[in-house]
Amino acid sequence: MAPPSSDQPDEAAGSGAISKVLVVIAMQTEALPLVTKFELVEAATEESIFPKGAPWTRFHGDYKGLHIDLVWPGKDPLLGVDSVGTVSAALVTYASIQLLKPDLIINAGTAGGFKARGASIGDVYLASDVAFHDRRIPIPVFDSYGIGARQTFATPNIVKELNLKVGKLSTGDSLDMSPHDESAILSNDATVNDMEGAAVAYVAEMFSTPAIFVKAVTDIVDGEKPTAEEFLQNLISVTMALDQAVTKVIDFIDGKCVSDL
């Protein structure tokens, strides 16, 4: 891929209405309902904007006054499963920012939730903050770098208008939760946890692109059911709740400036 362009996305407080929205999503199951809803078209392989060999997939189209690009990291070339996790999320976000220059990023996806924080299956959250919970570097200053805590782009009008729940998001590369991860998640004061959000936030901040995080709860991390079992059991139904929430967010964004969110 070509080196980063000096032509960066507009500043968050730009005066123009949002015209280009990038939706970053980890799994095909999560992506396809939105592709159908917004009548997006898959970019042909021979027309891909991404580097040769990258399995990343892009769907695109116009919806109301917006141009929407939806990207997901595709299938692992060897194993054929969704390329979930922070590495794939960071790579596809970086490439998409450089090549598509969005005005706004929406990282949408499913997540685990904590009943101790009030989360229930099917709840949809806007993340107020993000952090990592599995990057342990017990050296002064490096420890804070590993956690990577940062506030997300504030969207008080979306929260008020759509009545979405708000909570902190913690990100790691494992579906289960080790004792070390649990301790870190508690330290992060997280209500939901996923496998991509903080990585997307890191790249978005690097290139001054506002990003918001819409997460729907598939499993209760501090519940009684095994995480993997509960996740698979609820994935389809919760994806529908995610689809509805993202559609409402997109409808709200249409015609507005970033500063209006």
Cβ contact 222:115 at 8 Å: yes
- The predicted model scores a pTM of 0.92
* Average pLDDT in the chain: 92
Q: What angle do CA 44, 40, 113 make, to 5 degrees?
A: 110
| Per-residue model confidence as pLDDT tens digits over 204-213 | 999 999 999 9
Are the CB atoms for 228 and 16 separated by under 8 Å?
Answer: no
CATH fold label, 20-260:
Rossmann fold (3.40.50)
- Per-residue pLDDT tens for 170-181? 999 998 889 999
Residues 76-105 have pLDDT tens digits of 999 999 999 999 999 999 999 999 999 999
Quick check: is 219 catalytic?
yes
Say which of 82, 129, 196, 219 is annotated catalytic.
219
Burial class (CB in 10 A: 0-12, 13-18, 19+), 227: middle
* Digit-coded pLDDT (tens) for 40-63: 999 987 789 999 999 999 999 999
Which of 30, 69, 103, 243 is labelled catalytic? 30
The pLDDT-based confidence of 15 (bands split at 50, 70, 90) is low
Q: Is residue 42 annotated as a catalytic residue, yes or no?
A: no
